[in-house]
Homo-oligomer: A and B are copies of this chain.
Amino acid sequence: MTEREQTSADLTFTVKATDGKARRGALSMPRGTIRTPAYMPVGTAGTVKAMYMDQVRDLGADVILGNTYHLMLRPGAERVSKLGGLHEFARWPHPILTDSGGFQVMSLSQLRKLSETGVTFQSHIDGSKYELTPERSIEIQALLDSDIQMQLDECIALPAPVSEIERAMELSLRWAERCKSAFLTQSDHNARAMFGIVQGGDNEALRVKSANALKDMDLKGYSIGGLAVGEPQEVMLAMLDVTCPELPEEKPRYLMGVGTPDDLLKSIARGVDMFDCVMPTRAGRHGTAFTRFGKINLRNARHAEDHRPLDEKSDCPAARDYSRAYLHHLVRSNEALGGMLLTWNNLSYYQDLMQGARDAIEAAAYADYQAACSAAWERGDIPAL
């Protein structure tokens, strides 16, 4: 039995090895085990865009993310529940993490109105009105049958005044308490998790305050939210430097919506266990490949007559078997297969990067691994033909 197949009746987290602050862990639950550090492909509306779920799994994903905001609007949480839950609906029988919906209410919906109670908004699809409260967010995530649920929080864009960051952070803490209460009414809550979300913007003191208040709630995991929202990488890393030490060692830590391969490795070095990001899937649909030697823009004319693959040493057919010339042609022609192949390649690269990180931490060689990855990115792509 491989590690990913090991499950536990209750949700448990084990740190199996550490190297500096980097952690090699396993988050186990009835539907499977998430090997950490983990990158979670984003399955926004019940599909990882342009991928078959079998491919996503075969690349090494132990968990995917579903977006509460998208799914509550279409097809609707009650409908997904009636159809057997999100795992059954989307044909992904392995762990699923859902966000709270809050982030996308703020970024996508219209006529938002925020109060202590929650947030009302209009659907970006058809303008119909919804209310999302902490309790409703958790209820929706339960209807989706989510294994790892998120508290509703208020995530603000940076830069922002400290008073505004503090107000949103304090509101998020009060919502965390309400979400925890709602979560504990789920009959099988032992088999699942509800994570609290550390907020506090780019303010170290507020981050520390938020982390400690959430720690006192004794939640099953801790997300770090409100980063990668416009601030420089150094600010994000500085926030991780002050936040991670405040979080309990024995609980998983999830940095939301991050990021580039470099963001991931630097965050792992600071003690982060889990990531999600649309970058590999979105970039793939827009003609960009992530490889061991950095990003490649397949739209570029330099690839038009290049018979070489993206990376002949990759195990992923998309990276190994298709010429750059063909990928260039598909991207330029807006052919679906272009997005399919580049998404496949990019998710493969992200999973390989995480597998490498896990192996390196077990071998107590994480710093070397980071240095080797950085050197390869800096070397850059092979010269043009």
What is A's interface to B at a CB cutoff of 8 Å?
A: 45-47, 49-52, 74-75, 79, 82-84, 89-91, 304-305, 307, 321-323, 325-326, 328-330, 332-333, 335-337, 339-340
Contacts and interface: CB of A to CB of B under 8 A. Distances in A.
A326 B90 contact: yes
Contacts of A305: 79, 82-83
6 contacts: A75-B328, A83-B325, A83-B326, A91-B326, A336-B336, A336-B339
Contact of A75 (B82, B83, B325): B325
Q: Summarize A's interface: helix, strand, loop or mixed.
A: loop
A340 B332 CA distance: 20
Contacts of A332: 74-75
A337 B49 contact: yes
Contacts of A329: 45-46, 74-75, 89
A307 B83 contact: yes
Given A89-B326, A91-B322, A322-B91, A79 B304 contact: yes
Question: Which one of A89, A305, A336 has the highest number of Cβ atoms from chain B below 10 Å of its Cβ?
Answer: A336
Given A75-B304, A333-B74, A89 B50 contact: no
Contact of A335 (B47, B83, B91, B335): B47
A140 to B, nearest CB: 16
Contacts of A82: 305
Contacts of A323: 83, 89
A198 B212 CA distance: 81
A142 B43 CA distance: 44
Contacts of A75: 304, 325, 328-329, 332
Nearest to A75: B329
Contact of A45 (B47, B91, B335): B335
A92 to B, nearest CB: 11
A322 B92 CA distance: 11
Contact of A337 (B51, B307, B326, B337): B51
Given A75-B328, A75-B329, A89-B326, 6 more contacts: A45-B335, A47-B335, A49-B336, A83-B323, A83-B326, A89-B323
Contacts of A335: 45, 47, 49
A337 B56 CA distance: 13
